[in-house]
Structure 1
Amino acid sequence: MTGPIFVSRLVRLPLLDGDGHGMGRVEDVVAVPSGRDPARVLGLVATVERRRIFLNEARLGSIDPTGVRLRSGTIDVQPFRQRPGEKLAGADIVGTRVGDDYIVDTAIEESTRTGFWFVVAVALGGRGPLRRRSTRVVEWSDVATHFDAGPEYAEVAELRNMHQSDVAERIRSLPHAKRRRLAELMEDDRLADLLEELPEDEQIRLIQGLDLERAAHVLEEMEPDDAVDLLGELSEPERQRLLEAMGPEDSTPLRRLLAYAEDTAGGLMTPEPVVLGGSATVAEALATVREPDLPVELAAQVFVVQPPTSTPTGRFIGTVPFQRLLREAPATRLEDCAHHDPEPVPPELPLRDVAERLAAYDALAVPVCDGGQRLVGAVTVDDVLDHVLPSDWRRQRRRHATIEGA
């Protein structure tokens, strides 16, 4: 479905897993107004097995008249709890009086630039049985002042439009109390991005300032290797409480990573590279790496394995770089164009040796395989750089940039 989608048509649609099987029904849309800009959609409220739960926007796949399909079938069934500043499109926004009219519906649309969803318009009309005859649609900016949440939310909205490294610099310049308050108001995915840019001591202070459920959700949004680095700095009781609060599909890979020493390939790797079976085609691989949420360093190559394709996978076959995908015919099977350079490294390989392997092959990532030649993850160049550069390298880079620009 393309173009704006009115929430009245979305509500009560079936909620489908990645294979199209029914899981529940959509109840409402959760959004955060941010001044005159379109309100960011955080996710959906849905009823699953008689529970009213929250579905993060990042889990949403396609929306069409048959239902809302998720990117994967695994969901967090914790009860939905509305946070300050959040608005339900149906329960809170619909019914608001605007001049002589009332908001009778809201429309959401996916951004072609960012892949995020926003409330972009509302339908205004009267009340009573004849309201539909005089309905008119206006942009969100025309009614945004009716949902002004105050200066703190305006500041969060401003941060949302900044690069995460700039957000980190802004946050670090604030007093601790203000820093903690803004962290509480940020969306989970943006807070996860921020934590990945901060030194570990500041990550710890922010994550410890959140309630257990919120902290677990933020960790789920972080890249697995970054989440493991943060968990590794916490005490054992804190670490176990957070892992137990996370969904099994998110906590299990983290537990595996925590079993490896920090300065080894296993401790550096991400357990979620792009992995496809050997029978998949080049066209399928290109569609996979086109996902907007996929980090650039992971989209640069596809790792080809025998089933299963979730780590630890079946036997590792090889890799296909993105440029090779562009040169192959769409129907070509990946097992027919995969090659073995760079060769896989064992999880126990020390950091220095991993760095040398990446440099020797001019590679952006190197596969990590266990003794049975099963792919367990991949180490990317940025993973290595984060560990070999000084812990305050971001602060030094910013300082040098300021001096040069003076």
Structure 2
Amino acid sequence: MAAGAPRIFVSHLSGVAVFDPTGDQVGRVRDLVVMLRVGQRPPRLLGLVVELATRRRIFLPMTRVTAIQSGQLITTGVLNVRRFEQRPTERLVFGELLDRRVTLTETGEEVTVLDLSVHQLPARREWEIDRVFVRKGRKGSAFRRAKGEALTVEWTAVTGFSLEEQGQGAENLLATFEQLRPADLANVLHHLSAKRRAEVAAALDDDRLADVLEELPEDDQIEILGKLKEERAADVLEAMDPDDAADLLGELPTDEQERLLSLMQPGDAADMRRLMSYEERTAGGLMTTEPIVLRPDATVADALAHIRNPDLSPALAAQVYVCRPPDETPTGKYLGTVHFQRLLREPPPSLVSSILDSDLQPLDPEAELPAIAGFFATYDMVAAPVVDEAGALLGAVTVDDVLDHMLPEDWRESEFHLDEEVTTDGS
């Protein structure tokens, strides 16, 4: 659903059919999952509980929802069918928030929650609960419906939902640091005790934990992953950038690697195995298998739509790679690269095949780190294609991955203590 779309009352989502992009029904919505936050901040809508035809209930993240319209919900088509398990920081809207007694802040009057509305934040992919539909008067019963004035108020106009400031375990810490960048939250986690670190990691959603793990030192990564249930550990690895996940898997014992790989989606597991087959400090070992790949008949408008994807890192969004089908790595014949600055200068209907940079030599998957660094320095690149002997695009190496492997092994530790050193020197 596009940002800025009208708000939706959650009662209208109960039982709504969920379809994949081809029009096949995959299940029905049975509940919504939100994360409450400290104070009066509106809850974040994390996703939906969907019941499949097999009666199994799974979790569908809101990032996988592409449209909500005409009594139906459309997904990206990629579903994780593992059984839904509610986490400590999560609340079920139908199961826990509706029919609840809360208090109007202005008058102190108790009211009953009849419905809640959700909306997508402008220019972002996040959803929030913003309004509450309540009824004044006593709560009804199974035999007698309560009467009283019904009204819709802002989330901040009621109390009785949000987390308390004290006694919330990991919840309060998560709420406090929710706006931190992954690298900054990794800094916080690094300095916690092992017990506290495990509690916070368990409470983070998969995507957030994946982002944070990518920023942590290797020892912390292994420790946190080892304390997760194997199924969840596999989910988190799938949510990580493929090259980072492969690096982490490569540090685990072989039997543990195989158990986790067997729990992953086949396509993700295949990417992991392919990346792990290369030496760590080569282009094949550094590359991600998820660059932007377009066919020759794609237009500039298509390319611009792809680089606007907020889930892409700036380095990966800096260029698109044009290849013959198939469109996923390893691709058909690699034809060339189109840089985003060139895309901005061309008419939207133009074909990407007409503006290729075909002179730039791609990296060989066996190229070693010094040669890769020299390539980036020589051509002022932030990402580079990796192509095999058959001419197929295998992936792309980004400059941040090169820096990660060129800096001293303890560079993260040094960065973590930078603020402390500055404070000490200035005191």
Q: Structure 1 residue 401: deviation in Å?
A: 4.7
Residue-by-residue CA offset, 1:235-290 (whole Å, 9 max, x unaligned): 11111111111222322211211111111111100000111111111111111111
CA distance in 2, matches of 1:303, 1:356: 21
TM-score (norm 2): 0.89
Q: Structure 1 residue 332: deviation in Å?
A: 0.6
CA distance in 1, matches of 2:161, 2:25: 37
Q: Select the residue among 235, 248, 261 that pairs with 1:217.
A: 235
Q: Select the residue among 149, 153, 161 that pairs with 1:146.
A: 161
Q: Select the residue among 270, 273, 277 that pairs with 2:295.
A: 277
1:39 aligns with 2:43: yes
1:117 aligns with 2:106: no
User: Which is further off, 104-113 or 376-385?
Assistant: 104-113
Q: Structure 1 residue 46: deviation in Å?
A: 0.9
CA distance in 2, matches of 1:66, 1:303: 38
Residue-by-residue CA offset, 1:196-224 (whole Å, 9 max, x unaligned): 11111110001101111111111111111
TM-score (norm 1): 0.94
SS in 1 for 2:268: helix
Computed over aligned residues only, the root mean square deviation of the Cα atoms, in angstroms, reads: 2.1
Residue-by-residue CA offset, 1:164-213 (whole Å, 9 max, x unaligned): 22211111111111111111111111111111111111100011011111
Q: 8 Å contact 1:342–1:363 — kept in the other structure?
A: no
1:98 matched residue in structure 2: 102
CA distance in 2, matches of 1:234, 1:246: 16
Cα 1:363–1:218 change in 2 (3 A) is same
- Structure index of larger Rg: 2
Q: Structure 1 residue 142: deviation in Å?
A: 3.4
Q: Structure 1 residue 6: deviation in Å?
A: 1.4
Q: Structure 1 residue 45: deviation in Å?
A: 0.9
Q: Select the residue among 38, 48, 51 that pairs with 2:52.
A: 48
1:79 matched residue in structure 2: 83
Paired residues for 1:7-406 under 5 Å: 7-35=10-38, 36-50=40-54, 51-65=56-70, 67-71=72-76, 73-99=77-103, 100-125=110-135, 127=140, 134-143=149-158, 145-148=160-163, 150-404=168-422, 406=426
Residue-by-residue CA offset, 1:48-93 (whole Å, 9 max, x unaligned): 232211112332223222522223x231111112222311112211
Q: 8 Å contact 2:336–2:356 — kept in the other structure?
A: yes
CA distance in 2, matches of 1:273, 1:294: 9
Structure 1 unaligned regions, length at least 5: none
CA distance in 2, matches of 1:343, 1:9: 54
SS in 2 for 1:395: helix
Q: Structure 1 residue 148: deviation in Å?
A: 2.3
2:8 matched residue in structure 1: 5
Cα 1:172–1:300 change in 2 (3 A) is same
Amino acid at match of 1:199: P
User: Which is further off, 273-282 or 58-67?
Assistant: 58-67
User: Which is further off, 333-342 or 235-244?
Assistant: 333-342
CA distance in 2, matches of 1:244, 1:32: 30
Amino acid at match of 1:7: V
Q: 8 Å contact 1:31–1:39 — kept in the other structure?
A: yes
Cα 1:143–1:244 change in 2 (3 A) is farther
**Number of residue pairs the alignment of both structures matches:** 405
Structure 2 unaligned regions, length at least 5: 104-109
Q: 8 Å contact 2:334–2:393 — kept in the other structure?
A: yes
CA distance in 1, matches of 2:157, 2:189: 31
Cα 1:82–1:402 change in 2 (3 A) is closer
Q: Percent identity?
A: 42
The structure with the largest helix share of the pair is 1
Amino acid at match of 1:373: G
User: Which is further off, 320-329 or 245-254?
Assistant: 245-254
Q: Structure 1 residue 362: deviation in Å?
A: 0.8
Q: 8 Å contact 2:64–2:78 — kept in the other structure?
A: no
